[in-house]
Amino acid sequence: MKKNIKLFAILGIFIVLPLISFAQNASVITNGPVSEIQNVQVAQNIISGTIIFFRNASVSAFDNVFLTILLSEKTQETKSVIKGIPTTIVKPGAIISTKMGKDFFTLFSQSDSTKDFSLEYPMSIPVGAYRLEAQVVTISGDIVTSAFQDINLTGNGNFLKINQETCRLMLAGMMFGSNDGPNLYSGENPKVSCKVTNPTSANIEATPVLSLATYFAYGFPQTDLEEIKLDSIIFKAKESKTVTLEIPSPLDPQVYQAGLQFSDVLSGEINSSLSLFRWVVKGAAARIHDVALDRSSYENGSKAEITVSVYISPDLFWDNYQNLPFVKADPKRFSGTPIAKPTLRATLVSGSGVFCGQGETISDLPFTKDEIRVGHIVVPISEDCVDPKAEVSFFDGEKLLAGVDYTKISLPSERSTNASFPLVYYVIAGVVLILAWVVYKKIKNEP
């Protein structure tokens, strides 16, 4: 049994939480395939299983998707009456562990498929029921399909309880919710705080570990930056106290997120759920939300049309909330940064690595609002191009702000048809030549 597992595989975690400031809300694609989790097994501290994708009813494939597995505390439902109407309030359980598949894949339309998965979890968890969830997610954070299953797990119970509702992010005398995403000036560091309880009958010494990441930037759903271990803290038996920590923020303009989790000093294992905090460093920035190619193969001399959607400068989010008291109190901090000369560029390369063409689109007007912008790039094709990969970049003038690689995979039947065309051509040509030679010999030998 592995005692030390990676503290923060948080790549998939950020996707399922409410997103504001730069990403709107993570949405579920309505015409995605139906899926379910099957064959779940638990061996020591490893959960394994299979996610089944039933026939995809959409007319197009879902390219460049990846699989994220999450283990969380069980969802809690509370029934109440609001203004005379019976209401059920669903409270998601805190996330404990996640894992994202390393490879992008394609879900083809009108087809079934499966993906195997495994996930390690800390043996410090209390015995009880947990929620296992599998999600298929696009590079933009949209959920193509998800499936979950309740699962009973055992552990030694040496687990700290973070009260997620008490978690706050503090900045310049202001206090925000953990996911509000306030603007920071480059060089500022936010503080975070949460109430933490030791429910056990023994003292626990634990190390706060902060996992710092760039959110949905430069072609990947998240780019891990660093893991920061702070001084250990002793929690006495049955003790509850508020823990306050300072996070060293990166300097470059972008959306950042930190995960706070504790690890046991003696075993090195995770012994708490995960709390997430988000903020924005002011300045020109961008995130490519989606890329779409009009075809999965192109012939020499044709043109490819690439559609790209981009979110710009996350600090522009607060321009929509100028009436909030803290925005009025510091309007300069909560002002956004426009993109003066928005430029999209794309290079197409075939699945075999052959250069196919490149193109560029420059906007006549600056981008000044917190909204998704859609651009179109026309790429003249100079070589036959099957299973093209689009290397797409977004610039402000000549300053690179975001980039992504997007591959359009053709159906196996289409790919085999395209690949076999030259062979068929040569076979037919060979038969014609043989027949011509036979006819020639017959005419030549006639008296």
Query: 325-347, pLDDT tens digit by residue?
Result: 999 999 999 999 999 999 999 99
Asked, for residue 194, whether it belongs to a domain, the answer is yes
**Residues 136-150, mean pLDDT to the nearest whole number:** 84
Q: How far is CA 320 from CA 271, 339, 418, in A?
A: 40, 17, 50
Statement: residue 102 has pLDDT above 80: no
Q: What is the CA radius of gyration of the chain?
A: 27
Which DSSP category does 418 fall into?
H
Asked, for residue 2, whether it belongs to a domain, the answer is no
Percent of the chain exceeding pLDDT 90 equals: 59
Both 262 and 296 in a single domain? no
Asked, for residue 415, whether it belongs to a domain, the answer is no
pLDDT value for 289: 85
Both 336 and 368 in a single domain? yes
Residue among 314, 375, 385 at smallest CA distance from 347? 385
Could you write out the DSSP letters of every residue in 252-280?
A: SSEEEEEEEEEEETTT--B-B--EEEEEE
**CATH code for the domain of 169:** 2.60.40.1710
Which region, left, alpha or beta, applies to residue 156 given φ > 0 means left and ψ of -120 to 50 means alpha?
A: alpha
Hey, CA dihedral for 160, 164, 166, 172, is it positive or negative? positive
Phi, psi of 350 (to 5 degrees): -70, 165
Distance (Å, rounded) from C-alpha 131 to C-alpha 116?
A: 18
Task: Point out the domain boundary residue: 264, 281, 298.
Answer: 281
- Between residues 221 and 219, the one the model is more confident about: 221
Per-chain mean pLDDT for the chain: 83
Statement: residue 348 has pLDDT above 90: yes
Both 236 and 100 in a single domain? yes
Distance (Å, rounded) from C-alpha 134 to C-alpha 148?
A: 6
**Six token digits for residue 445:** 């030998």
Distance (Å, rounded) from C-alpha 141 to C-alpha 346?
A: 22
Find the distance separating the first CA and the last CA of the chain, reported in whole Å. Answer: 91
- Between residues 32 and 301, the one the model is more confident about: 301
Statement: residue 14 has pLDDT above 50: no
Both 214 and 351 in a single domain? no
Phi, psi of 153 (to 5 degrees): -130, 155
Distance (Å, rounded) from C-alpha 155 to C-alpha 429?
A: 70
Q: From the centroid of its chain, how far is CA 247? A: 23
Between 2-6, 38-42, 156-160, 351-355, the lowest mean confidence (pLDDT) is in 2-6
Distance (Å, rounded) from C-alpha 120 to C-alpha 334?
A: 41
Both 215 and 311 in a single domain? no
Q: What are the DSSP E strand ranges found in 284-325? A: 286-293, 297-298, 303-312
Residue among 95, 73, 136 at smallest CA distance from 8? 95
**Six token digits for residue 34:** 């139906």
Whether the CB-CB separation of 117 and 99 falls below 8 Å is answered with yes
Residue among 289, 141, 265 at smallest CA distance from 206? 265
The total of structural domains in the chain comes to 2
pLDDT value for 80: 74
Both 261 and 295 in a single domain? no
Q: SS3 for 175-225, per residue? A: EEECCCCCEECCCCCCEEEEEEECCCCCCEEEEEEEEEEEEEECCEEEEEE
Percent of the chain exceeding pLDDT 70 equals: 80
Q: How far is CA 134 from CA 14, 147, 159, 243, 282, in A?
A: 14, 5, 24, 32, 34
**Residues 124-140, mean pLDDT to the nearest whole number:** 90
Both 225 and 313 in a single domain? no
- Between residues 197 and 29, the one the model is more confident about: 197
Statement: residue 357 has pLDDT above 50: yes
Q: How many C-beta atoms lie closer than 10 Å to residue 287's C-beta?
A: 28
**Six token digits for residue 97:** 């562990």
Asked, for residue 109, whether it belongs to a domain, the answer is yes
Whether the CB-CB separation of 141 and 29 falls below 8 Å is answered with no
Q: Are strands 286-293 and 204-217 parallel, antiparallel or unpaired?
A: unpaired
Task: Point out the domain boundary residue: 281, 306, 322.
Answer: 281
Both 259 and 301 in a single domain? no
**CATH code for the domain of 309:** 2.60.40.10
**Six token digits for residue 356:** 């196919």
pLDDT value for 287: 87
- Between residues 109 and 47, the one the model is more confident about: 47
Residues of the domain holding 345: 286-407
Statement: residue 98 has pLDDT above 90: no
Asked, for residue 19, whether it belongs to a domain, the answer is yes
Both 272 and 213 in a single domain? yes
pLDDT value for 74: 87
Q: 73-89, pLDDT tens digit by residue?
A: 988 777 777 777 877 77
**Six token digits for residue 433:** 């030549």
pLDDT value for 78: 73
Banded pLDDT at 428 (limits 50, 70, 90): very low
Q: 371-426, pLDDT tens digit by residue?
A: 999 999 999 999 999 999 999 999 999 999 998 888 887 655 444 434 333 444 34
Both 205 and 308 in a single domain? no
Q: Which amino acid is at 178?
A: S
Whether the CB-CB separation of 198 and 157 falls below 8 Å is answered with no
Distance (Å, rounded) from C-alpha 364 to C-alpha 380?
A: 22
**Residues 345-356, mean pLDDT to the nearest whole number:** 95
Distance (Å, rounded) from C-alpha 36 to C-alpha 100?
A: 17
Both 54 and 189 in a single domain? yes
Sheet of strand 286-293: strand arrangement: 286-293, 303-312, 372-380
Statement: residue 282 has pLDDT above 90: yes
pLDDT value for 427: 43
Residue among 316, 403, 390 at smallest CA distance from 358? 390
pLDDT value for 116: 93
pLDDT value for 443: 52
Both 192 and 323 in a single domain? no
Statement: residue 72 has pLDDT above 80: yes
pLDDT value for 430: 53
Statement: residue 8 has pLDDT above 90: no
- Between residues 422 and 433, the one the model is more confident about: 433
Asked, for residue 402, whether it belongs to a domain, the answer is yes
Task: Point out the domain boundary residue: 230, 249, 281.
Answer: 281
Q: From the centroid of its chain, how far is CA 368? A: 26
Q: 183-218, pLDDT tens digit by residue?
A: 999 999 999 999 999 999 999 999 999 988 887 433
Distance (Å, rounded) from C-alpha 27 to C-alpha 23?
A: 10
pLDDT value for 221: 44
